[in-house]
Amino acid sequence: MNYSSSHALLIKEEARRLGFSFCGISKAGFLEEEAPRLEQWLKKNMHGEMAYMANHFDKRLDPTLLVPGAKSVVSLLYNYYTPKKQIDNSAPKISKYAMGEDYHFVLKDRLRELMNFISDNIGEVNGRAFTDSAPVLDRAWASKSGLGWIGKNSNLINKGSGSFFFLAELIIDLELDADSPVGDYCGTCTACIDACPTDAIIAPYVVDGSKCISYFTIELKKAIPSEMKGRLEGWAFGCDICQDVCPWNRFSKPHHEARFDPSEELLKMTASDYEEITEDIFKRVFKKSPVKRTGYDGLKRNISFLRS
């Protein structure tokens, strides 16, 4: 019996049961094609003040340095798409991914359950779970395992479901049948490049992170550069522009995760509510939200910048 095949099937079925939309598998090994790309991206300082991106270069490219004896990378996609929108069109915009509870908490719970399932049903398996929490090139692994292709906006795009997904991985010392990559279906489309108001997509498949609206509103701790005035298009936390215009996202389906549902209070907040937001209201509305990452002062800075 081919255990690597039956074990792979078992893991994929359980991943589905736990709410993951897609699960794909790659052989754990050095990401040879990604090495020069990452090196060039860092050399050109496209990570801006995200110093952590330059750390652990070798570990980002080789999962066996993160998990000794690793044999497989199990890549997972978790849908966060919501058709629900903020009611006041003039209110500062919050990215879809930040509308509900912080995905780190939600996905870590599911990943823990999946690891426990593997141990209970397959045997002693050593490994680690990751969701945007360690030096793992998650999009590269997801692409390698056939879950989609990396689009011109550098997001992973799934042909049947678009790109509004959180990515996660299990890196484990279990031999599993690997899946094959899929083709690139961006074709001649340049919708994402044309729509980016800060010209962050400097070439097809190359995003200068230090020019991205998400970088300015989340990662950048000092003042937003004055040359960005009038170019953030109302975004106060994150940005969905390059995904919203992507033709493949017409296939996006609403998520089924109650913890990602936006609160009515958040959806009803008006432009003036944001202008007058107090720290207490911030703590209540964004209690478990990723918006806590920028903090009250950071959100106030962003709102002030949009107004100026």
Active site residues: 132
Cβ–Cβ under 8 Å, residues 236 and 218 = no
Chain centroid to Cα 178, Å, comes to: 23
Chain centroid to Cα 271, Å, comes to: 27
CA distance 104 to 99: 14
CA distance 130 to 175: 19
Q: Tokens in use for 152?
A: 């011109």
197 CB burial (10 A radius; 0-12, 13-18, 19+):
middle
